[in-house]
Amino acid sequence: MAIPFYFVALLILAAEFVNGWTDAPNAIATVVATKALKPRAAVVLAVTGNMLGAFYGRAVAQTIGTEIVRPEAINLVTLGAALLGIVVWATAASWFGVPTSESHALLAGLAGAGLATAGPAALLLSGWKKVFLGLVISVLFGAVGGFGLVWMLKLLSMGWPPAKKDRIFNLLQIVAAGGMAFSHGSNDGQKFIGLFTLTLVLAGVLPVFQVQPWV
């Protein structure tokens, strides 16, 4: 395998590291701040949830690897440039305290790589529909669901003694943190799995895009 392959693989690992460094702690920030869990236990919860989530299905990896840009429209050089941009941008944003998303950077990087190599024809509408649909649904569901859940919990806990509230809500926070860590792994983790599989295809290691268990 040529040097570009190893360089791109290293950049994928770097991008995944930055993603875990900046995004993964979001799942456990609340349980640590409220002392529902000690920091070390919270980190174990985040690691476990993310690892399990990454093995949950392959749909996101498939979308990233085959439905955002045409694989034949990009190469290892342009993909490496896109990944380098992700790593530099995410690191700089974190350093200056600017909220950012590696998922958005990843999609923008793939789109830029495709546009630079083959123009607008490189972009696949089917995958971008999923991206925009996911953005709309997540915002609406998060806002409406969050409001409704808080309202319901207020009604249910009305009249509970403080000790009971602390015990139950601490437990619910831990469950929610575990769920967030799992969903982060099943989404963000799979994105980079899909990207690495795409790299294997571009390098000629795999004949077709098919996520391997060892990836």
Does the structure show a pLDDT above 70 at 86?
A: yes
Does the structure show a pLDDT above 80 at 125?
A: yes
Instruction: Tell me the per-residue pLDDT of 111-122, one tens digit each, with 9 for 90 and over.
Output: 888 888 888 888
Instruction: Tell me the per-residue pLDDT of 11-63, one tens digit each, with 9 for 90 and over.
Output: 999 988 888 888 778 888 889 999 899 999 999 999 999 999 988 888 888 88
Instruction: Supply angle C-alpha 187, 80, 93, rounded to 5.
Output: 60
Range of the domain at 22: 3-202
Tokens of 54: 């990454």
- Cβ pair 196, 9 in contact under 8 A: yes
**CA-CA distance, 176 to 34, in Å (whole number)?**
13
137: amino acid identity, one letter: I
pLDDT at site 1: 58
Does the structure show a pLDDT above 80 at 165?
A: yes
Q: What share of the chain is helix, strand, coil (3-state, %, to 5)?
A: 80, 0, 20
129: amino acid identity, one letter: K
Does the structure show a pLDDT above 80 at 215?
A: no
Structural domain count of the chain:
1
- What does the mean pLDDT of the chain come to? 87
Tokens of 103: 């998922």
Instruction: Tell me the per-residue pLDDT of 130-159, one tens digit each, with 9 for 90 and over.
Output: 888 888 888 899 899 989 999 998 898 888
Q: Looking at residues 96-108, what average pLDDT do you find?
A: 82
- Cβ pair 117, 72 in contact under 8 A: no
Instruction: Tell me the per-residue pLDDT of 173-186, one tens digit each, with 9 for 90 and over.
Output: 999 999 999 998 89
**Per the domain annotation, does 211 fall within a domain?**
no
Nearest to 188 by CA among 107, 121, 116, 71: 107
Phi, psi of 158, rounded to the nearest 5 degrees: -60, 125
pLDDT at site 101: 79
Give this prediction's pTM.
Answer: 0.83
Q: Looking at residues 102-119, what average pLDDT do you find?
A: 86
**CA-CA distance, 201 to 215, in Å (whole number)?**
13
196: amino acid identity, one letter: F
Tokens of 46: 């985040």
pLDDT at site 175: 94
Q: Looking at residues 82-99, what average pLDDT do you find?
A: 85
**Per the domain annotation, does 209 fall within a domain?**
no
